[in-house]
Amino acid sequence: MSILDRLKEFREEEKRLTWEGTFREYLEIIKEKPEVAQTAHSRIYNMIKDAGVEEIDGKRSYKFFSNEIYGLEEAIERLVEEYFHSAAKRLDVRKRILLLMGPVSGGKSTLVSMLKRGLEKYSRSEDGAIYAIKGCPMHEDPLHLIPHHLREDFYNEYGIKVEGNLSPLNMMRLEQEYGGVIEEVIVQRILLSEDRRVGIGTFSPSDPKSQDIADLTGSIDFSTIAEYGSESDPRAYRFDGELNKANRGLMEFQEMLKCDEKFLWHLLSLTQEGNFKAGRFALISADEMIVAHTNEAEYKSFISNKKNEALHSRIIVMPIPYNLRVSEEEKIYKKMIKDSDISDVHIAPHALRVAAIFTILTRLKESKKQGVDVLKKLKLYDGQTVEGFNTQDVEEMKKEYQDEGMTGIDPRYVINRISSAIIRKELSSINALDVLRSIKEGLDQHASISKEDRERYINFISVARKEYDEIAKKEVQKAFVYSYEESAKTLMDNYLDNVEAFCNKNKLRDPLTGDEMNPDEKLMRSIEEQIGISENAKKAFREEILIRISAYARKGKRFDYNSHERLREAIQKKLFADLKDVVKITTSTKTPDENQLKKVNEVIARLIDDHGYNSVSANELLRYVGSLLNR
């Protein structure tokens, strides 16, 4: 479909979503769909819930956030359940300002932006439809038209609670335009939009000396006073402050804790009582969620100020730490690169993973558990298997520190260093070593890093480099072993014959002499040791293999090279250990013979076709692994 067709389709959709009718007709709508009359907090909660919820290992994952925010599932679950869900049920939590607290570039702004964009989209759906009094600059809830003395009867008939008072402007319009006949007041469907200032607002404080409270609550239109004769005439007032325009939806309060006190008290009145003071009018009702964000240092400074004590209990603080999982950090980098101008540069496999390993190491705290260093903790947090530890240990580690993930290197720094390496060297391809080198160089220019932290970080770069050495060797190992696939299968069949004989306490027959012989313990151990199977654990491992073979046989399947992941890894490592000399020769000889050259080209082709390298990064990887093996 062309862009012109899409524009036409968009216009037709806008027309379809337009609805206008009397208050009487609006009541018919809410009789059929009571959710139309839900509060702003309830609408936000239902928007998140309707996008889908997954239960993974007893924890909830919300699909609404899954494509933009990575590795913060626990923080988001706490935010949704403890704040949005409770607020949707009209519990006291909705009378609090939501304050997201976390380090820079940790996802706070992204989270708020997602709520805004989500509300815009949700208000266009049937479940998220919102209606307001037509012509009201605050998009007021039509149910405010129902007089207070009839609200209990309305609840009994419709099952909907009505909160809030009719605004001064609509009170005047009801009398003058409709002659007090509430049923005839015109109601229309509204679509939330930050750009059009409908139901979504953003307040950003500036210089306290020059900023006017009118930015928040609206102001008198002096040009109309001569016409209307009084400042207390609601027609002489511009209801165009952020609190007015964000009614029915959400208002983001940027840098809230840096704001002047007079602005904060208006927020407290709105969240606590559901109304705020503007001009020479009675209190004006508004239904909106206030969300602010700050960092830990600013928050500590705020709560240490005695003048702010009354505000403390009116704020719900939700910590939003950095992600602490390597695989999720990789996704953050991929997303940031995709959105940047460096998306066309080839980034070799594992380059982002190695950067993520370094970054996560800077964010973790030493565990109090015996035998757990920071690298083991990193692997456990990422869901990897570490011998001697289980999921219960991981949960206990997460409870050791309340502020883990609140410090460390932010994702933006890593992307900046990757960009710097590409631009400076004008590279068309970048690998893990280029990334680590650039990160290290950038530490000297990072003004906020202390000398002590810089030394720690340089040590973490060394740890990440060692991890990459192992990854690189495995990568080449897989590509080389593929070229020797028949050798790998033969080695595995030989191992399985010996395991079967060992477990069944049988003898093997020599294929040449026909003599009976004991299972080859040396061969079995040489393979098992490759994946850290101890002498004490060998029997259990062999029995596990035999059980797997039997299970396959019962299902009529053949146990092959790919049937057991750990065994396959052990075979690959063993074969690669035996092939090390071949690798050394083929990667270090300047003029390899024809056979060696063929082998190198096979490996490079395998790295390109199956592992995501290009010819430059594949050749660089081979040379690097060759140098590692020659050390």
**Structure confidence by residue, pLDDT tens digits, 11-64:** 998 889 999 999 999 999 999 999 999 999 999 999 999 999 988 777 888 999
Helix orientation angle between 594-611 and 451-483, rounded to the nearest 10 degrees: 120
Our measurement of the distance from residue 597's CA atom to the centroid of its chain's CA atoms, rounded to an integer in Å, reads: 45
Tell me which residue of 90, 274, 264, 94 sits closest to 167, measured CA to CA.
274
State which amino acid sits at residue 75: A
Q: Would you state the pLDDT for residue 138?
A: 93
Residues with pLDDT less than 70, the chain: 207-210, 425, 483-484, 512, 579-593, 596, 631
**263 vs 255: CA distance, rounded Å:** 12
The H or E element containing residue 336 is helix 326-338
Q: Which segments of the chain belong to CATH 3.40.50.300? A: 22-53+63-319
- The CB density around residue 93, as the number of other CB atoms within 10 Å, is 17
Our measurement of the distance from residue 458's CA atom to the centroid of its chain's CA atoms, rounded to an integer in Å, reads: 27
Report CA Rg, the chain.
33
**206 vs 200: CA distance, rounded Å:** 20
Helix runs in 382-530, H state only: 391-398, 411-425, 432-443, 451-483, 485-503, 521-528
**339-347: long-range pairs with CB below 8 Å, 24+:** 340/415, 340/419, 342/418, 342/419, 342/422, 345/422, 345/427, 345/428, 345/429, 345/430, 346/428, 346/429, 346/430, 346/614, 346/616, 346/617, 347/418, 347/429, 347/430
Q: Would you state the pLDDT for residue 275?
A: 81
Token code pair at residue 328:
């999720």
- The CB density around residue 587, as the number of other CB atoms within 10 Å, is 23
Helix (H, G, I), strand (E, B) or coil at 92: helix
Specify the pTM: 0.82
Helix (H, G, I), strand (E, B) or coil at 239: coil
**Structure confidence by residue, pLDDT tens digits, 272-314:** 788 888 777 888 888 999 999 888 888 888 888 777 777 777 8
Residue 607's alpha-carbon distances to 481, 482, 556, 572, 623, in angstroms, are 12, 10, 34, 16, 13
- Torsion angle of alpha carbons 557, 562, 567, 569, nearest 10°? 180
May I ask the CATH class of domain 22-53+63-319? alpha beta
Q: Decide if 142 contacts 24 (C-beta within 8 A).
A: no
